[in-house]
C-alpha cells in the first residue's frame, strides 16, 4: 500500500531466524487459565469421572485376588458368581464414566476455543498497521486455526489425563507396595531414569514442535499467496516455480514432523521397554516366592494385574508430554500476538485527562502538519527518516493536491492522518486539535480515505460501500455510487446486493477503484484523503468522476495524492514533496512558473531536456 515501505516479515521457520526464547512448559500452559477457568467445573467433573473410571480398573486386581484365593482355591463355584458379576459391573462403570467424561467437556471447551479465537480476531483489528506489515498472514491464520485446536484438545484430553494418570500411578504404586513391597520396589526401579529421560525429551521436543508450527504458518502463507495471485502465476507461467517452492516447504515440514515422530518413538521404546523388563523380573521373583510358599497365588495375580493396569498411565506419558509441549508452543504463539502493544494510551484519554476544548482560531482550522517526521519501525538504524520535517497547512474547506516522485512518501504521509501509522516526531492537528487527543473511533469518523490499491471484501456491493458509513440511507448510497460514476452496479445480477467475490476480483480494476471511492465519500466526511483514486480509470470516466468529485470536495477539507495534471486541477493548491519535505506550495499555474521540480513532475521533462528542445 504505502510507497517506499521497508517491510520485514519474519520467516520464523527459517534456520537463520532467531530461535524463540525457551519457556517453562508449565508456565506457558498456565496462561490458558483465564480462559479455561470458565469451564473449570466441567474440567473438574471430567477429571473426577476419569478418576472414578480408572479407580474401577484398580479395583479389578483386588477382586481377582479374592477370586483366586477364595472360590478357585476352595473350589466353591457358588461364591464365584457374585465376584464375576462385580467384575462385570466394574467394566461397565469404566466404560460409562469415560463416556460421561467426554460429554461433560465437549460443549464448554468448544466455547473456550470460540472465545479465544474471538479475542485473537479482535486483537488483530486493534493492532497497528505496522504490526500487519511485519507478520505474514499465514502465520496469523495458523494461530487462529490449528494452534487453537491444539490448545482446546489439550484442555479436553492431555490435561485431564496428566492429572488422572499421575494419581492413578501413585495409587497403583501404593497398592503394589501394599501387596508386596519387594516386588513393588523391583517394578518401580525404572522410574528415576524415566524422569531424567523425559526431561531431556521435553527440551528437544519443544523446539521441534515450535519449528513445525511455524513452518505450518509459512506454508499457509504460501498457499494463500498462490490462490490470490493465481492470475499472475498463470500469466507469467510461474505456477511450476511456486509448485517447487511449495514442494520444498512441505518437505521441510515433513522432515520436522518425522524428526518429532523419531524422538517420540525413541522415548516410547524406552518408556515401554524398561517397565516391561522390570515387570518380567518381578514376575520371575514372584513365581519363585509362590513356589517357596512366601506369597499366595492370588496376591501375585493381583500384583501383576495392578502392574498391567498401570501400563497405560506409564506408556501414555510420552504422548501426553509430547502433546503438552505442542500445546505450550501453540499457547506461546497465541500470546505472542495477544501481547503485542496496541495503539498508544492517548487513543482514548480519560475524561479528566482530555484537554479543554476551545474554539479554534481561524488560522488553525483545517489540517496542519508541523515538523512531522516519520520512519518505519523496522527501518535499518543507519537509514534516514522517510519524512524529515513536513510543514504544511491545508485550510478549512480547501483541497490540497500532493505531488512527488515515486517513493517520496506521499502515501505514507496520507496514512498518518487516520493514524494508520504513528508519527516519529512533530504534530498533526485537525481544526486545531492534536491528532493524538482524538479517540481513534472518532478520528476515523472524521477522516475518510480511498487508497490507490482498492481493497474489497467477500461481501455485497452495498456492504463494501457502506463500510464508509454503516448507517447511510439508500439515497446516500445511491449518491455515493453516482459520485464515483459506479453506474455499472445497476447492470450487476443483483444490483447493490451482488457479491463481489474475494478481493473483488470479479470486477475490473477501474470498477474496484470506483467502489472504493464511493466508500470514501458515502459518509460526507469532514476530512477526505484520496490516494491517487483515479489511476485505473479511462479518460472519459475520469472526467465524469472529477466533475462529480468537485461537488464533494467543495464541502470538505481534502488531501489528494496526484500523479496527473487532470487530478491536480481538482485542487485549490498544490504541495510538492521531495527529500522528505514540502519544498513548494502554490496553485498549479504558480508552481509551473516557480518550481522546477513541479514542472518536471507534470511534464516529465528535466530542465536540460527542455533546453535541448528549444
pLDDT tens per residue, range 397-427? 898 999 988 888 888 898 899 888 888 889 9
Same domain, 323 and 380: no
Residues 301 and 415 in one domain: no
Q: Mean pLDDT over residues 39-51, rounded?
A: 86
Predicted pLDDT of residue 371 = 92
Which triple of cell numbers denotes residue 597? Answer: 521540480
> Taking residues 14-33, what's their average pLDDT?
66
Indicate whether 317 and 438 sit together in one domain: no
Share of the chain above pLDDT 70, in %: 88
Same domain, residue pair 333 and 447: no
Q: What is the pLDDT of residue 555?
A: 82
Report pLDDT for 502: 67
The 3-class SS string of 55-105 reads HHHHHHHHHHHHHHHHHHHHCCHHHHHHHHHHHHHHHHHHHHHHHHHHHHH
For residue range 340-399, what is the model confidence (pLDDT) as tens digits? Answer: 887 654 444 443 333 444 555 656 688 999 999 998 877 787 788 889 889 999 999 898
Say what angle helices 539-553 and 474-483 make with each other, to 10 degrees. 130
Task: Supply the angle between the helices 239-291 and 311-338 in degrees, to the nearest 10.
Answer: 150
Distance of alpha carbon 50 from alpha carbon 100, whole angstroms: 9
pLDDT, position 377:
78
Please give the pLDDT value at position 360: 57
Q: Pairing between strand 433-434 and 425-430? A: antiparallel
Does residue 126 have a pLDDT over 80? yes
Residues 272 and 304 in one domain: yes
CATH code, domain with 94: 1.20.1560.10
Q: How far apart are CA 105 and CA 95, in angstroms?
A: 17
Residue 107, H or E segment:
helix 77-126
Task: Name the pTM for this structure.
Answer: 0.73
Q: From CA 234, how far away is CA 242, in angstroms rounded?
A: 11
The pLDDT tens digits for 507-548 are 777 788 888 888 888 888 889 888 877 766 777 777 777 777
Per-residue burial over 549-572, b = 16 or more CB atoms within 10 Å of its CB, e = otherwise: beebbeebbbbbbbbeeebbebbe
Q: Which of 412, 415, 263, 236 is nearest to 326 (CA)?
A: 263
Gap between the Cα atoms of 488 and 500, Å rounded: 13
Instruction: Render 170-219 in DSSP notation, one character per residue.
Output: HHHHHHHHHH-HHHHHHHTTTHHHHHHHHHHHHHHHHHHHHHHHHHHHHH
* 353 DSSP assignment: T
Q: Using an 8 Å Cβ cutoff, are 395 and 366 in contact?
A: yes
Share the mean pLDDT of the chain: 81
Contacts with 580 (C-beta within 8 Å, 6 or more apart), sequence order: 384, 385, 386, 387, 388, 389, 390, 408, 409
- For the stretch 480-483, contacts whose Cβ atoms lie closer than 8 Å and that sit 24 or more positions apart, written own/partner, are 480/518, 480/519, 480/521, 480/522, 481/518, 482/548, 483/517, 483/518, 483/521, 483/545, 483/548, 483/549, 483/551, 483/552
Q: Do 331 and 366 fall into the same domain?
A: no
Look at residue 144 and tell me if it is in a domain: no
Shared domain for 262 and 388, answered yes or no, is no
Residue 489 banded pLDDT, cuts 50, 70, 90: confident
Given a cut of 70, whether residue 435 has pLDDT beyond it is: yes
Predicted local confidence at residue 58, as pLDDT: 81
SS3 506: coil
Would you state the cell numbers that stand for residue 447, as one nine-digit string? 477522516
Average pLDDT over residues 145-170: 87
User: Do residue 382 and residue 329 come from a single domain?
Assistant: no
Binned at pLDDT 50, 70 and 90, residue 14 comes out as: very low
Q: Is 295 helix (H, G, I), strand (E, B) or coil?
A: coil
Residue at 417 is within a domain: yes
**Residue 523 forms part of a structural domain:** yes
pLDDT at 72 over 80: no
Task: Read off the pLDDT band of 608 (50, 70, 90).
Answer: very low
The answer to whether position 51 is within a domain reads yes
- 347 inside domain: no
Q: Of 304, 338, 372, which marks where a domain is finished? A: 338
* Cell numbers standing for residue 95: 466404560
Give the pLDDT confidence score for residue 23 in this predicted structure: 61
User: What is the percentage of the chain residues whose pLDDT exceeds 90?
Assistant: 9
What value does the mean pLDDT take over residues 483-504?
82
The whole-number pLDDT of residue 10 equals 41
Together in a domain, 91 and 51: yes
Q: Report the pLDDT value the prediction gives residue 346, as an integer from 0 to 100.
A: 45
Query: 557: domain range?
Result: 362-613
pLDDT score for 117: 92
- The CATH number linked to 505 is 3.40.50.300
The mean pLDDT of 217-233, rounded to a whole number, is 79
Long-range contact list for 285-288, CB < 8 A, 24+ apart? 285/182, 285/183, 285/186, 286/180, 286/183
Q: Out of 338, 353, 372, pick the residue that ends a domain.
A: 338
Distance CA 281, CA 513 (A): 79
Query: What is the C-alpha separation between 371 and 388, in angstroms, rounded?
Result: 8
Which residue did the predictor score with more confidence, 590 or 358?
Answer: 590
pLDDT at 335 over 90: yes
Q: Which residue has the cell 491517487?
A: 532
Average pLDDT over residues 444-466: 84
What is the chain's Cα-based Rg? 35
Residue 596: inside a domain, yes or no?
Answer: yes
Model confidence at 5: pLDDT above 50: no
- Report which of residues 525 and 76 the model is more confident about: 525
Are residue 277 and residue 366 in the same domain, yes or no?
no
- Residue 104 inside a domain? The answer is yes
Asked whether residue 403 is assigned to any structural domain, the reply reads yes
- Is the CB of residue 11 less than 8 Å from the CB of residue 17? yes
Q: Average of pLDDT values for 108-118?
A: 89
Task: Give the C-alpha separation, 537 to 546, whole Å.
Answer: 11
The predicted pLDDT at position 573 comes to 92
Residues 406 and 285 grouped into a single domain: no
pLDDT of residue 604: 65
Specify the DSSP class assigned to residue 596: H
* Sheet hosting strand 387-394, strand order edge to edge: 387-394, 367-374, 425-430, 433-434
DSSP label of 469: -
Q: pLDDT band for 49, please (50, 70, 90 cuts).
A: confident
Domain boundary among 301, 323, 338: 338
331 or 90: which carries more pLDDT confidence?
A: 331
Number of domains in the chain: 2
DSSP annotation of 432 reads T
The reply to whether 64 and 97 lie within a common domain is yes
| Residue 595 banded pLDDT, cuts 50, 70, 90 | confident
Amino acid at each position: 500500500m504505502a510507497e517506499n515501505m521497508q517491510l520485514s516479515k519474519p520467516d520464523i521457520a527459517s534456520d537463520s531466524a532467531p530461535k524463540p526464547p525457551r519457556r517453562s512448559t508449565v508456565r506457558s500452559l498456565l496462561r490458558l487459565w483465564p480462559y479455561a477457568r470458565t469451564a473449570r467445573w466441567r474440567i473438574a467433573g471430567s477429571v473426577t469421572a476419569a478418576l472414578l473410571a480408572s479407580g474401577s480398573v484398580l479395583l479389578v486386581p483386588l477382586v481377582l485376588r479374592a477370586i483366586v484365593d477364595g472360590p478357585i482355591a476352595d473350589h466353591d463355584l457358588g461364591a464365584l458368581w457374585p465376584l464375576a458379576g462385580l467384575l462385570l459391573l466394574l467394566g461397565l462403570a469404566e466404560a460409562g464414566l469415560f463416556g460421561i467424561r467426554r460429554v461433560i467437556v465437549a460443549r464448554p471447551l468448544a466455547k473456550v476455543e470460540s472465545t479465544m479465537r474471538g479475542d485473537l480476531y479482535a486483537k488483530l483489528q486493534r493492532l497497528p498497521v505496522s504490526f500487519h506489515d511485519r507478520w505474514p498472514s499465514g502465520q496469523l491464520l495458523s494461530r487462529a486455526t490449528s494452534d487453537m485446536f491444539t490448545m482446546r484438545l489439550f484442555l479436553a484430553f492431555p490435561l485431564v489425563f496428566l492429572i488422572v494418570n499421575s494419581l492413578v500411578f501413585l495409587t497403583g504404586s501404593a497398592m503394589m507396595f501394599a501387596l508386596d513391597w519387594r516386588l513393588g520396589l523391583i517394578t518401580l526401579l525404572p522410574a528415576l531414569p524415566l524422569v531424567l529421560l523425559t526431561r531431556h525429551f521435553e527440551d528437544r521436543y519443544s523446539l521441534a514442535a515450535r519449528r513445525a508450527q511455524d513452518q505450518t504458518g509459512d506454508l499457509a502463507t504460501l498457499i494463500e499467496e498462490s490462490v490470490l495471485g493465481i492470475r499472475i502465476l498463470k500469466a507469467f507461467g510461474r505456477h511450476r516455480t511456486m509448485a517447487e517452492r511449495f514442494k520444498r516447504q512441505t518437505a521441510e515440514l515433513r522432515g520436522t514432523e518425522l524428526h518429532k515422530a523419531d524422538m517420540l518413538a525413541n522415548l516410547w521404546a524406552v518408556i515401554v521397554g524398561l517397565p516391561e523388563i522390570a515387570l518380567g523380573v518381578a514376575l520371575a521373583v514372584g513365581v519363585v516366592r509362590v513356589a517357596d510358599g512366601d506369597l499366595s497365588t492370588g496376591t501375585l495375580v493381583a500384583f501383576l494385574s495392578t502392574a498391567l493396569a498401570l501400563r497405560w498411565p506409564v506408556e501414555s506419558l510420552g504422548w501426553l508430554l509430547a502433546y503438552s509441549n505442542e500445546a505450550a508452543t501453540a499457547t506461546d504463539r497465541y500470546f505472542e500476538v495477544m501481547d503485542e502493544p496496541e495503539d498508544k494510551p492517548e487513543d482514548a484519554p480519560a475524561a479528566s485527562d482530555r484537554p479543554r476544548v476551545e474554539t479554534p482560531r481561524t488560522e488553525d482550522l483545517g489540517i496542519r502538519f508541523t515538523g512531522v517526521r516519520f520512519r518505519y519501525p523496522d527501518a535499518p538504524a543507519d537509514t534516514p527518516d522517510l519524512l524529515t520535517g513536513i510543514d504544511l497547512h491545508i485550510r478549512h474547506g480547501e483541497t490540497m493536491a500532493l505531488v512527488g516522485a515515486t517513493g517520496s512518501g506521499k502515501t505514507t504521509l496520507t496514512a498518518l492522518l487516520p493514524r494508520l501509522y504513528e508519527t516519529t516526531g512533530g504534530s498533526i492537528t485537525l481544526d486545531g486539535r492534536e491528532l493524538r487527543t482524538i479517540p481513534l473511533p472518532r478520528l476515523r469518523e472524521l477522516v475518510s480515505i480511498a487508497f490507490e490499491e482498492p481493497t474489497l471484501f467477500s461481501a455485497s456491493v452495498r456492504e463494501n460501500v457502506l463500510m464508509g458509513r454503516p448507517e447511510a440511507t439508500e439515497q446516500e448510497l445511491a449518491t455515493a455510487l453516482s459520485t464515483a460514476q459506479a453506474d455499472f452496479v445497476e447492470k450487476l445480477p443483483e444490483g447493490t446486493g451482488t457479491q463481489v467475490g474475494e478481493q473483488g476480483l470479479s470486477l475490473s480494476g477501474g470498477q474496484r477503484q470506483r467502489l472504493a471511492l464511493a466508500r470514501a465519500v458515502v459518509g460526507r466526511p469532514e476530512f477526505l484523503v484520496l490516494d491517487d483514486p483515479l489511476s485505473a480509470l479511462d479518460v472519459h470516466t475520469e472526467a465524469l468522476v472529477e466533475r462529480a468529485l468537485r461537488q464533494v470536495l467543495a464541502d470538505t477539507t481534502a488531501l489528494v495524492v496526484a500523479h496527473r495534471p487532470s487530478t491536480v486541477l481538482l485542487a485549490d493548491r498544490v504541495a510538492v514533496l521531495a527529500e522528505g519535505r514540502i519544498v513548494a506550495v502554490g496553485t498549479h499555474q504558480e508552481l509551473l512558473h516557480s518550481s522546477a521540480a513541479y514542472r518536471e513532475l507534470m511534464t516529465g521533462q528535466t530542465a536540460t531536456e527542455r533546453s535541448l528542445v528549444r
